[in-house]
Structure 1
Amino acid sequence: MFPHTTAFVVSLFVALAAPAAQPPSSAVPRFEPTPCPATVEPGERIDCGLLVVPENRNKAGSRLIQLPVMRLRSRAEHPAADPVFYMPGGPGVSATAHLRSGKRNPLLDERDLVVMEPRGGRMARPALECPEINALKGDIAAGRLRGQKALDALAKAAGRCRATLIASGVDLDGYTTAATADDLEDLRKLLGYAQWNLQGLSYSTRLMLTVLRRHPSGVRSVVLDSVLPPEVNFDEVSATNLQRVLDLVFNGCAVDRECGAAYPDLRQRFAQLVATAERKPLPLKLKESMTGGRPVEVRGAQVVEALYSALHRVDLIPLVPRIISRAAAGDYTELTPLVEDNQGPSTMSWGLRLSVWCSEELPFEDPARVVAQRSPSLGLGGVDEGTASAETCRAWNVATVPAVENEPVKSDVPALVFAGEFDPDTPPDWGRQLLESMPHARYVELRGHSHGASFNPCGAQLTLAFLRDPGAPLPLDCVLGLRGADFGQSASVPPRN
């Protein structure tokens, strides 16, 4: 993954009008200009509207849904004709709920940026929200709900949420990656762009690859960060991906002179820490403001989840050896805020997340391998990094997508592929393997970085250069200059507050 006022009305009829007459208002698909949300910062040049499309594109007469769209205008005097369309990760993450301003986005120096709420997202109508699942995820994060009881509770909550959504008229089979890819193509045409550039993070790289499979002519180039290709079976290796990065930390510390001398038995200290927490919850003193005043049992899974969170932060990766070792010795000073940050309910739109995952990911996975990823024998406290269990997907009960949606995408469209060395979610090899089926793809791995590897000055520099000329050599000096994680920092004494 990547990583995070006063309303004004901008009419898009003039700005987006094509020379031909506008289609009637009853046409589908259609774009309806609307005022921007009141939360947009004053003075921003942002156009807003709704994409209106069928809920289930495979059923005649399907009801219509509304997807919010925001177009951030470029600061350039003469913007490039081909904008960037961006979508964050997920599935289940809102693309527009927190979008306030484009002032700090370097892409707007040269191009417009278009963002659309995915079908079923929090700001879409309908929104596929499952509040009970969000709350249960908070209980799991706090250790109040564990193991099979957690799986059973999530499956039952999924069944209840499904019943509620269906009773409201929702057709859950309409919420797939392919359907969202078709939404993007409709939007491109309605906004009058001959081509545009796609930028996706984490799950949305799969979305962009699906657009390449279904609608390649409308894509000038694609930027993919932390790739989740359609052919990988994520839940079969969800814990293995995390273990890969922990091994990088253990080995990186061992070969660093200072870190290796300070923590010669880091791997053993990690195992000791997890085992200790499994026997008896660690006595961390957590702030009530972070826990909502509810009890938290810091067991092995909570320790591993805290370290998992740290592995997403470039500034904390070099300090993970120290965090582990001090916690193993009973000093929880640095572990505590990481555990605190993981508390609270999930913010995902779980109805959307389950509709996508249970139709196009879990049906193609090996159930035994998925279950094995939750085993305490892995030494990760039984942590569950998977997206949805077989029990939950049975309760959700959506149709399986065609098998082609689980196959590699072949494309000649120029692509820039970013990966982070320490990404615990989507390993670099998943991005690298695109080179086999995309001859015009270029792969860039950033040492010392994690999920969302391109969201920094170096990544922005490469992205801008690529968008100017997708076939030109990339300015790789900033990449080649990356030292990576300096685990020697873990041997230093942290400053006192």
Structure 2
Amino acid sequence: MIRLPVIIFRSRAAQPASDPVMFLTGGPGNSALTGQRSGKSNPFLDARDQVLLEPRGARLSQPALECPEINALKGEIGAGRVRAEAAQAALVDAAATCRTRLEDAGADPNGYNSVEAADDIEDLRVALGYPQLNLYALSYGTRLALTVAKRHPASVRAMVLDSALPPEVNYDETASANTWRALNAVFDGCAVDPVCATAWPNPRADFDALVAKADRERLPFGLADASIDARGAEVVQAVGMALQNPRLIPLIPRAVGEALAGRYEEMSSWITQAQGPSTFTWGLRLSVWCNEEAPFQDADRVRAQTSVDYGLGGTDARAASPDMCAAWKVAPAPAVENAAVRSDVPTLILAGEFDPSTPPQWGRRLLANMPKAFFVQIPGLSHGASFNACGGRMAFDFINDPATPPVMTCVAKLPGADFAASATEAAP
């Protein structure tokens, strides 16, 4: 048996709407319940309940498909203490070890995928007596939401899809290209800002030179943890961390340029912030990914994503490698799970301009098969485009009235990334 905990935040309304909002977290491999303590500041509760269901296999479920050996190893790889072929071999061994342990404990890795999770959501809806649900989803959660809409269309009243991951996009084949798209958006943003361009005339070349220099020699970043071997991959990892933070995005040209000039303080801070073990529940992540994503991807293209020829220091931005999936040994999903979803559910699709993981084009492509969908790209933001006042208000308004097109006033007023900030001095 699989046991999944549920949290229900009850509406503050005297007569709540009959259709609650359910948040679907990203990953796969994240917990939906960890850290949830109160609905006090939750605006959705003014009109309706909010329901949270822990995904099967996630941290608070029973069983939880935890792979602590992978979590720790990801920290070692991120610190540069394990690299390249040795890192991949160690990840494969860790995946095989974890699978054996979970299977010996009675878990079946084949029982964890988006289809099963979608049916869990439908079972919960029925058990709680709600006629319909509103799905508010982030990243991988958008793929799950689309699966719910495909399998149980009458049960979904409306959806908000933030940082969309359509099932047909083959994520791991384009991991490096997605990173470069976001980086190029930053470099181009600096180039067309007169203040930034004066301070840093060629941030793209600076980035290339810094990654190459860090790969040639161990630069004196002055890290508090001397065991961190900060080479090109660790520089890219640090900049990737900054790409996820709208406050840091405009400062990337400065951090890169200063480091190239031998002033390492800002980049050193970013490298430190980017450290630590993985927090995913890796057994769940591998079961989902190796069932419904890996079988439909070109394994050679996926393996090539970590090549230094991409200019990213060999950074691995893939969700899982083909070799890890081979070690995980789950059956492939039917081909329909890799096909675009067609749905008439009213949907608001939100994307961040600088998202390095799920590019805005992936959200926009959903419009071809979703006639009641609206797409909004929010300037200056990244992954999780709705986690700000403007995006949150649009999501709230759409859930309350999905028949009305989103009002774009707050989006039009957003200033976007101010790359002139890269011309100022970094705080000590």
Q: Percent identity?
A: 55
SS of match in other structure, 2:72: helix
Would you say 1:148 and 2:85 are equivalent positions? Answer: yes
SS of match in other structure, 1:494: coil
Give the letter aligned to residue 400 of structure 1. Answer: P
Task: For 2:7 and 2:289, locate their aligned partners in 1 and report how far apart those are by CA, in whole Å.
Answer: 26
Aligned position for 1:405: 337
Tell me which moved more, 328-337 or 139-148.
328-337
Aligned position for 1:258: 195
Q: Which runs of 4+ in 1 moved over 4 A?
A: none
Aligned position for 2:360: 428
Aligned position for 1:52: none
Aligned position for 1:51: none
Say if 1:282 and 1:297, in contact at 8 Å, map to a contact too: no
User: In the TM superposition, what is the alpha-carbon distance from 1:101 to its structure 2 partner?
Assistant: 1.7
Aligned position for 2:283: 351
SS of match in other structure, 2:264: coil
Give unpaired runs (5+ residues) of structure 1: 1-63, 289-293
Aligned position for 1:74: 11
User: In the TM superposition, what is the alpha-carbon distance from 1:488 to its structure 2 partner?
Assistant: 0.9
Give the letter aligned to residue 193 of structure 2. Answer: D
User: In the TM superposition, what is the alpha-carbon distance from 1:344 to its structure 2 partner?
Assistant: 1.8
User: In the TM superposition, what is the alpha-carbon distance from 1:81 to its structure 2 partner?
Assistant: 1.6
Q: Deviations along 1:334-356, whole A, 9 cap, x unmatched?
A: 11222112222111100000001
Aligned position for 1:114: 51
Aligned position for 1:281: 218
Aligned position for 2:63: 126
Q: Deviations along 1:338-388, whole A, 9 cap, x unmatched?
A: 211222211110000000111111110011211221110111101000011
Say if 1:94 and 1:118, in contact at 8 Å, map to a contact too: yes
User: In the TM superposition, what is the alpha-carbon distance from 1:109 to its structure 2 partner?
Assistant: 2.2
Aligned position for 2:129: 192
Larger Rg: 1
Give the letter aligned to residue 145 of structure 1. Answer: V
Give the letter aligned to residue 73 of structure 2. Answer: L
Tell me which moved more, 73-82 or 256-265.
73-82
Say if 1:74 and 1:108, in contact at 8 Å, map to a contact too: yes
User: In the TM superposition, what is the alpha-carbon distance from 1:464 to its structure 2 partner?
Assistant: 1.6
Aligned position for 1:492: 424
User: In the TM superposition, what is the alpha-carbon distance from 1:82 to its structure 2 partner?
Assistant: 1.0
What TM-score, normalized to structure 2?
0.98
Give the letter aligned to residue 95 of structure 2. Answer: A
What TM-score, normalized to structure 1?
0.85
Task: For 1:116 and 1:71, locate their aligned partners in 2 and report how far apart those are by CA, in whole Å.
Answer: 9
Aligned position for 1:40: none
Give the letter aligned to residue 424 of structure 2. Answer: S
User: In the TM superposition, what is the alpha-carbon distance from 1:492 to its structure 2 partner?
Assistant: 1.5
Say if 1:175 and 1:352, in contact at 8 Å, map to a contact too: yes
Task: For 2:246 and 2:218, locate their aligned partners in 1 and report how far apart those are by CA, in whole Å.
Answer: 28
Give the letter aligned to residue 39 of structure 2. Answer: G
Q: Deviations along 1:408-461, whole A, 9 cap, x unmatched?
A: 000101000000000000000000001000000000110111000011111121
Task: For 2:74 and 2:330, locate their aligned partners in 1 and report how far apart those are by CA, in whole Å.
Answer: 22
SS of match in other structure, 1:134: helix
Would you say 1:219 and 2:156 are equivalent positions? Answer: yes
Aligned position for 1:34: none
Aligned position for 2:265: 333
SS of match in other structure, 2:135: strand
Would you say 1:481 and 2:413 are equivalent positions? Answer: yes
Say if 2:79 and 2:229, in contact at 8 Å, map to a contact too: yes
| Among candidates 364, 381, 386, match of residue 318 of structure 2 | 386
| Among candidates 64, 88, 98, match of residue 35 of structure 2 | 98
Give the letter aligned to residue 207 of structure 1. Answer: L
| Among candidates 247, 252, 255, match of residue 315 of structure 1 | 247
Task: For 2:262 and 2:151, locate their aligned partners in 1 and report how far apart those are by CA, in whole Å.
Answer: 55
Task: For 1:260 and 1:319, locate their aligned partners in 2 and report how far apart those are by CA, in whole Å.
Answer: 13
Task: For 1:104 and 1:253, locate their aligned partners in 2 and report how far apart those are by CA, in whole Å.
Answer: 37
SS of match in other structure, 2:247: coil
Give the letter aligned to residue 55 of structure 2. Answer: P
Q: Deviations along 1:162-201, whole A, 9 cap, x unmatched?
A: 1111111111100011000000000001000001100110
Task: For 2:189 and 2:382, locate their aligned partners in 1 and report how far apart those are by CA, in whole Å.
Answer: 15
SS of match in other structure, 1:413: coil
Give the letter aligned to residue 406 of structure 2. Answer: L
Task: For 1:104 and 1:235, locate their aligned partners in 2 and report how far apart those are by CA, in whole Å.
Answer: 37
Say if 1:200 and 1:223, in contact at 8 Å, map to a contact too: yes
User: In the TM superposition, what is the alpha-carbon distance from 1:286 to its structure 2 partner?
Assistant: 2.6
Give the letter aligned to residue 323 of structure 1. Answer: A
Say if 2:266 and 2:426, in contact at 8 Å, map to a contact too: no
Say if 2:159 and 2:345, in contact at 8 Å, map to a contact too: yes
Give the letter aligned to residue 430 of structure 1. Answer: W
SS of match in other structure, 1:180: helix
Say if 1:201 and 1:225, in contact at 8 Å, map to a contact too: yes
Task: For 2:239 and 2:185, locate their aligned partners in 1 and report how far apart those are by CA, in whole Å.
Answer: 13
Q: Number of paired residues?
A: 428
| Among candidates 241, 266, 269, match of residue 206 of structure 2 | 269
Would you say 1:208 and 2:145 are equivalent positions? Answer: yes
Task: For 1:136 and 1:450, locate their aligned partners in 2 and report how far apart those are by CA, in whole Å.
Answer: 27
Task: For 1:421 and 1:130, locate their aligned partners in 2 and report how far apart those are by CA, in whole Å.
Answer: 33
Q: Deviations along 1:390-423, whole A, 9 cap, x unmatched?
A: 1111110000011100000001010000000000
Aligned position for 2:186: 249
Task: For 1:390 and 1:281, locate their aligned partners in 2 and report how far apart those are by CA, in whole Å.
Answer: 31
Give unpaired runs (5+ residues) of structure 2: none
Give the letter aligned to residue 330 of structure 2. Answer: V
Task: For 1:364 and 1:390, locate their aligned partners in 2 and report how far apart those are by CA, in whole Å.
Answer: 11
Would you say 1:239 and 2:176 are equivalent positions? Answer: yes
Say if 1:102 and 1:108, in contact at 8 Å, map to a contact too: yes
Aligned position for 2:116: 179
Greater helix share, structure number = 2
